[in-house]
């Protein structure tokens, strides 16, 4: 993510050993703050198979995203699969993600890092 960072975006990788569910990256652009959880996943062969395995997001991560969203914050889950396809999911969807098939996830595909950053900061 950092290698592909858009101009004017500050990224801070958060190393958190406490296990509170805090996302991996704090992002700042023009005074706007976003949090991003990073995931690397193996793309399933069938379009009907879920992209996320049941424990891809820990319960603490799901709870953090839902709570942050409920308080008015915007967070995201950025996924890159083993075919280098990027997906940007709103953090408020954290609870729904394990149930989404690969086909259902296609509407969250972004074609480039520039588009991923634009989606995160819109």
- What residue ranges define each of the domains in the chain, with the CATH number in brackets? 2-120 (3.40.1350.10)
Q: Is the pLDDT of residue 4 over 80?
A: no
Task: Please tell me the distance from the alpha carbon of residue 91 to that of residue 23, in angstroms, as a whole number.
Answer: 10
Q: For the segment 71-89, what is each residue's pLDDT rounded down to a tens digit?
A: 999 999 999 999 999 999 9
Q: Please state, as a whole number, how many other Cβ atoms lie within 10 Å of the Cβ of residue 48.
A: 9
Name the percent of the chain in helix, strand, coil, to the closest 5.
30, 30, 40
Per-residue pLDDT, 8: 80
HEC profile for 29-40? ECCEEEEEEEEE
Per-residue pLDDT, 39: 96
Q: For the segment 20-67, what is each residue's pLDDT rounded down to a tens digit?
A: 889 999 999 989 999 999 999 999 999 999 999 988 999 999 999 999
Q: Is the pLDDT of residue 18 over 70?
A: no
Q: What is the pTM of this model?
A: 0.91
């Amino acid at each position: 993510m950092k290698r592909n960072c858009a101009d004017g975006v500050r990224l801070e990788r958060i190393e958190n050993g406490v296990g509170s569910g805090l996302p991996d990256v704090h992002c700042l652009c023009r005074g706007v703050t976003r949090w991003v959880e990073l995931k690397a996943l193996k793309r399933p062969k069938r379009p009907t198979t879920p992209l996320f395995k049941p424990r891809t997001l820990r319960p603490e991560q799901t709870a953090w995203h839902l709570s942050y969203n409920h308080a008015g914050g915007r967070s995201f889950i950025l996924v890159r699969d083993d075919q280098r396809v990027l997906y940007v999911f709103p953090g408020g969807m954290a609870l729904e993600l394990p149930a989404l098939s690969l086909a259902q996830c296609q509407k969250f595909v972004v074609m480039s890092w520039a588009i991923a950053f634009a989606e995160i900061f819109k």
